[in-house]
Structure 1
Amino acid sequence: MSKNLDIINNSESVVRSYIRNFPTVFTKAKGHKMWDENGKEFIDFFSGAGALNYGHNDDSMKEKLIEYITKDGITHSLDMASDAKADFLQKFNDVILKPRDLDYKVMFPGPTGTNTVESALKLARKVTGRTDIISFTGGFHGMTIGALSVTGNSMKRKGAGIPLQNTVTMAYDNYVDHDTLVYLERFLDDSGSGVAIPAAMIVETVQGEGGINAARFDWLQKIEQICKRWGILLIIDDVQAGIGRTGTFFSFEAAGIKPDIVCLSKSLSGYGLPLAVTLIKPELDIWQPGEHNGTFRGNNHAFVTATAALDFWKNDNFEKEIHEKSEIIYSFLEHLVADYPQLKGEVRGRGFMVGIASEVEGFSGKIAAKAFELGLIMETAGPNDEVFKLFPPLTIPKDELQRGLEIIEESIKGLIKEPVTN
């Protein structure tokens, strides 16, 4: 084991997790590749858990950031005005919101995904005067107390150390064999159900940590209709599924819905720099000044790279590329399920947010571990890590995408030579 790995293992808290799956010291990254201190090259099908949708160290973003730093541009500004912030807001409106006929105020709640979720929950309660939030089975929304209260994973919830209250969990799409929204509506209709009309519903259109579960568009449309009927705010958590990961900038676009509040983070900065926004319909923007804040909500370096990243969305060329490569990925996964019945697999997800769920206990984790040995980085998802999860950068060339997929197949081939039991 290397000296650097020894230092990390001996000094860092045992709470560390990814290092256990990828036990090497990375020293360089570019595009869809990473290298470790021994010079070994890896194809990255992890993309910083969705924080690096444009890959590592994009040249255009890097150039803009270096130029800004060398000119002594403002680094930290809380929520004071800066030219970097103004540039980002203008371009975000022009390139993203207006072409999609979306009208939102932009709130900077703090730099991480859990920050935007906390602000969304707080605002929903403030606007409606109600306390409860409906969330869904399999949902993951962050690790702070409010976000944990609407997260399904029992291990993560237990880490809170206190009861997580004022939330109700309902069944996500396809959680059971029948229409889950009939059940949800019955609870809202029945004054004896024990479920009060909530302030909001919070939902991921595709659940990442929950197991790459993709909601049908008609299910999402009906969620929006139910929310409108009862005066419930609809919060879409697009922290992981957004910024092109499912094929469009916002993951809800194809469903034709317009949420009341949208949570964005991860790949928003484009460069892996911390940045989050909460998008709010203007009539809901009733905050008192400073009522929700955060020391690092004015991360100007992230504004600079986020503004540069929006160049990808100036026309529909990038989106078309995502769809073409998505078809390659999905078709390949279907081939794996068909050709390797030992997987007992099911293809899940949408766009570049896909994976295979294996009924064979522990098999997905073994595939990810074998792939790492062969030079591919990917993780698992789901309550029992039953899904091996593909998150390549959206910018990966088709030939390199194919090479990564072939490593996955090679990993499966190597493992099924051994006895596989359920």
Structure 2
Amino acid sequence: MTITQPDLSVFETLESEVRSYCRGWPTVFDHARGSRLYDEDGHEYLDFFAGAGSLNYGHNNPVLKRALLDYLERDGITHGLDMSTVAKRTFLQTFHDLVLRPRDLPYKVMFPGPTGTNAVETALKLARKVKGRESIVSFTNAFHGMSLGSLAVTGNAFKRAGAGVPLVHGTPMPFDRYLDGKVPDFLWFERLLQDQGSGLNHPAAVIVETVQGEGGINVARPEWLRALRELCDRQDMLLIVDDIQMGCGRTGAFFSFEEAGIVPDIVTVSKSISGYGLPMALCLFKPELDIWEPGEHNGTFRGNNPAFVTATAALETYWTDAAAMEKQTRTRGEQVEQWLISITEENLADVKEYRGRGLVWGLEFHDTTRAARVARRAFDLGLLVETSGPQSEVVKLLPPLTTTPQELDEGMRVLARAVRETA
């Protein structure tokens, strides 16, 4: 793809140095549809990034767009705090009927603020309030958000350093296979809990991602998650599953923990819950944990009614037949996996491992600088992929769930070429 140098002067002059994605994708995007974005010069890009998992149903999904436009055209409520609105009622009933009730999940629904880190902060705050304890256990290479409470349970040293203050009341434990199976699961964790001299204050809760997205696409085994659930029960700790990036069907089932057959005490959901990329987040918890006082936790933008509208449309469109949606995601995930097997076999000396579930996959290289070069070459060839892992050593694939088999093949061919051309 031949790309003329875009005019980035306004961004470089006026926007903060903190910007990141635009550095890897140096163009000015103008519009998008489905699995494709287009820049202002008309160049086309196949999107295997999906708004960091916020666009599971693609860009400007026509069904969701129509629902949103109809709502706006009739002057539907746009800002509602936690007031009762028709849009909120419809979402809550639909979410209960299509998601919670079929899975026999009794959760209460709380709208914290519009982002994932708002949901995580809410979960941590509630767990501490319920248990009357401060300590939270997280896991190595976890990522839970960029506000202070969320950073305290995030593993990435670079992101933690940005806090500028001590990050307290969080203790990391080894994630599944962190020690390469040389130590029995949770041996260290249980020993610390049992030893009065360990220095570990008894935790209020444990927070975990079933698949660590930003941490490098590290997939927890179902048996490991079941053992964690049992440990939390025995030790009087709440189990929080952060499903912000891996929920809403990303791994196949609507919730990523369903495969393990566990029921967390608290679940955080955001990113693709609105279906359209609109800010929206949920904190779900068992009814007996709902000990909030009115107004004890709030936020100006916790009632994003346009997001309720698109979220309802997404549920009605894609989750009325959950089995079909799950089967489609798993089938397309197997298609991606076959490509990754081929890429690995072609580059045995360079590829360390591929891993994933559903439609989230990672390709790790022995050379920790290789993934960034592959991602940049893929961009030059018209494919958007990002990197993840503590050293950005993993190419991360996160295509919309609606990406067609033909588009998946197209994107994976580009990725294979980018790997070859950066050897």
TM range (shorter): over 0.9
Tell me if 1:120 matches 2:123.
yes
1:188 matched residue in structure 2 = 193
One-letter identity of the residue aligned with 2:117: T
Q: Alignment partner of 1:55: what SS?
A: coil
Q: Give the alignment partner of residue 93 of structure 1, picking from 85, 93, 96.
A: 96
Q: Give the alignment partner of residue 412 of structure 1, picking from 407, 410, 419.
A: 419
Q: CA deviation at 1:143?
A: 0.3
Q: Alignment partner of 1:342: what SS?
A: coil
Report the TM-score, using the length of structure 1 for normalisation. Answer: 0.97
Preserved CA contact (<8 Å) 1:45 1:392: yes
Tell me the number of residue pairs that the alignment of Structure 1 and Structure 2 aligns.
415
The CA deviation string for residues 3-61 of structure 1, in whole angstroms up to 9 with x for no partner, is 3x211121100000000011100001000000001100000000000000111001110
2:77 matched residue in structure 1 = 74
Residues 51-66 of structure 1 mapped to structure 2, 5 A cutoff: 51-66=54-69
Preserved CA contact (<8 Å) 2:113 2:280: yes
The CA distance in 1 between the partners of 2:208 and 2:193, in whole Å, is 17
1:162 matched residue in structure 2 = 165
Tell me if 1:23 matches 2:26.
yes
1:420 matched residue in structure 2 = none
Preserved CA contact (<8 Å) 1:333 1:355: no
1:302 matched residue in structure 2 = 307
Q: Give the alignment partner of residue 282 of structure 1, picking from 266, 271, 287.
A: 287
The CA distance in 2 between the partners of 1:342 and 1:372, in whole Å, is 24
The CA deviation string for residues 79-113 of structure 1, in whole angstroms up to 9 with x for no partner, is 00000000000000000000011010000000000
The CA distance in 2 between the partners of 1:294 and 1:271, in whole Å, is 21
Q: Alignment partner of 1:405: what SS?
A: helix
The CA distance in 2 between the partners of 1:355 and 1:172, in whole Å, is 17
Q: Alignment partner of 1:341: what SS?
A: coil
Residues 257-336 of structure 1 mapped to structure 2, 5 A cutoff: 257-311=262-316, 312-315=318-321, 316-336=323-343
Q: Alignment partner of 1:402: what SS?
A: helix
Q: Give the alignment partner of residue 110 of structure 2, picking from 103, 107, 110.
A: 107
The CA distance in 1 between the partners of 2:403 and 2:71, in whole Å, is 27
Q: CA deviation at 1:334?
A: 1.6
Q: Alignment partner of 1:135: what SS?
A: strand
The CA distance in 2 between the partners of 1:392 and 1:342, in whole Å, is 27
The CA deviation string for residues 365-404 of structure 1, in whole angstroms up to 9 with x for no partner, is 1110000000000000000000000000000110111000
Tell me if 1:386 matches 2:387.
no
The CA distance in 1 between the partners of 2:10 and 2:387, in whole Å, is 26
Preserved CA contact (<8 Å) 1:172 1:180: no
Q: CA deviation at 1:69?
A: 0.2
Report the TM-score, using the length of structure 2 for normalisation. Answer: 0.97
Tell me if 1:358 matches 2:358.
no
Instruction: Compute the RMSD of aligned alpha carbons.
Output: 0.8
2:216 matched residue in structure 1 = 211
Tell me if 1:201 matches 2:200.
no
The CA deviation string for residues 239-298 of structure 1, in whole angstroms up to 9 with x for no partner, is 011111111110000000000000000000000000000001000000000111010001
The CA distance in 1 between the partners of 2:305 and 2:393, in whole Å, is 39
Preserved CA contact (<8 Å) 2:362 2:394: yes
Preserved CA contact (<8 Å) 2:113 2:300: yes
The CA deviation string for residues 301-320 of structure 1, in whole angstroms up to 9 with x for no partner, is 00000000002011121111
The CA distance in 2 between the partners of 1:248 and 1:27, in whole Å, is 33
The CA distance in 2 between the partners of 1:109 and 1:341, in whole Å, is 46
1:375 matched residue in structure 2 = 382
One-letter identity of the residue aligned with 2:319: W
Q: Give the alignment partner of residue 239 of structure 2, picking from 226, 234, 241.
A: 234
2:6 matched residue in structure 1 = 2
Preserved CA contact (<8 Å) 1:125 1:199: yes
Residue ranges of structure 1 left out of the alignment (5+ in a row)? 417-422
The CA distance in 2 between the partners of 1:227 and 1:97, in whole Å, is 23
Preserved CA contact (<8 Å) 1:145 1:160: yes
Q: Alignment partner of 1:400: what SS?
A: helix
The CA distance in 1 between the partners of 2:241 and 2:355, in whole Å, is 20
Q: Alignment partner of 1:123: what SS?
A: helix
1:146 matched residue in structure 2 = 149
- Greater shift after overlay, 340-349 or 316-325? 340-349
Preserved CA contact (<8 Å) 1:220 1:255: yes
Preserved CA contact (<8 Å) 2:265 2:286: yes
Q: CA deviation at 1:179?
A: 2.5
Q: Alignment partner of 2:267: what SS?
A: strand
Q: CA deviation at 1:344?
A: 2.9
1:245 matched residue in structure 2 = 250
The CA distance in 2 between the partners of 1:182 and 1:331, in whole Å, is 35
Q: CA deviation at 1:135?
A: 0.5
Report sequence identity in percent: 54
The CA distance in 2 between the partners of 1:278 and 1:344, in whole Å, is 38
